[in-house]
Amino acid sequence: MASFHDFDSRYAVLFDLDGTIIDSRQGIISTLHHVIQTLGHQPDPSVDLTWVVGPPLSELMAHVLAHYGEDRVERAVEIYRARYQVAGRFDTPLFPGMAKLLRDLAASPVRLYTATSKPAFLARDILEMHGLENCFDRICGANDDDSGGEKPEMIARILVEYKASPERALMIGDRRFDINGAHANKLRSVGVLWGYGGEKELTEAGADVLVAEPQDLDETIRAQLHALARVRV
């Protein structure tokens, strides 16, 4: 099997963050509960909030608040961002093996980017907390006001701004947003099953390959890059 050092800097790997590199579920859900309480409602424990990890913040907030008959989305986003900055972002452990994988990739010529719906500054803070911010050629995410978090447009910007070819790029994520964003830009996609989308969602979105466990991602990335290299020959 090829190693990462067999590929030059024309190859790029794009990573989602939440549900792919970090397990952010509890930090996000606890922050949402804080928002609901601050707006004067009692969080309903019967409501499954697992799905909220992945979509842009303003989009998911409108859905969450609708259950409580609440429409103050802008205010809710303000409360969320303030709370997440001081509390939620610290409840974001790495999935097993991700630190080693990212450092191995960073030591190779392959270029590495994040493509996350989180604001880029928050993604940078979280990766810095784990000592991984320098693994990436660029940490790309939504704008500070949460705009620009849609994956098709974000991935397109990364390809253009950093002169990456879709024929030599790979997108890795746990939600349909990641797969759809990759396919909209003609990238090969890897769906990871330890995140928040699940096999059905990723399969229906058309992920090119699924990975069940974090420890298998290293080999999968190498195999996919090798497949891209064969196609280019």
Q: Helix, strand, coil % (nearest 5) of the chain?
A: 50, 15, 35
Give the whole-angstrom CA distance, residue 112 versus residue 158: 11
- Token code pair at residue 24: 């952010």
Task: Check if the beta carbon of residue 126 is closer than 8 Å to that of residue 91.
Answer: no
Run of H or E including 188: strand 188-192
Concerning whether 16 is annotated as a catalytic residue, the answer is yes
Tell me which residue has tokens 């890059």.
Answer: 225
Task: Check if the beta carbon of residue 28 is closer than 8 Å to that of residue 57.
Answer: no
Which of 16, 137, 146, 218 does the annotation list as catalytic?
16
Which amino acid, one-letter code, is at 62? A
189 phi, psi to nearest 5 deg: -125, 145
- Token code pair at residue 99: 């630190």
Residues in the chain: 233
Give the whole-angstrom CA distance, residue 147 versus residue 141: 9
Work out the angle at residue 102's Cα, subtended by the Cα atoms of residues 28 and 16, and round it to the nearest 5 degrees: 40
Task: Check if the beta carbon of residue 180 is closer than 8 Å to that of residue 173.
Answer: no
The three-state secondary structure class of 171 is strand
Active site residues per annotation: 16
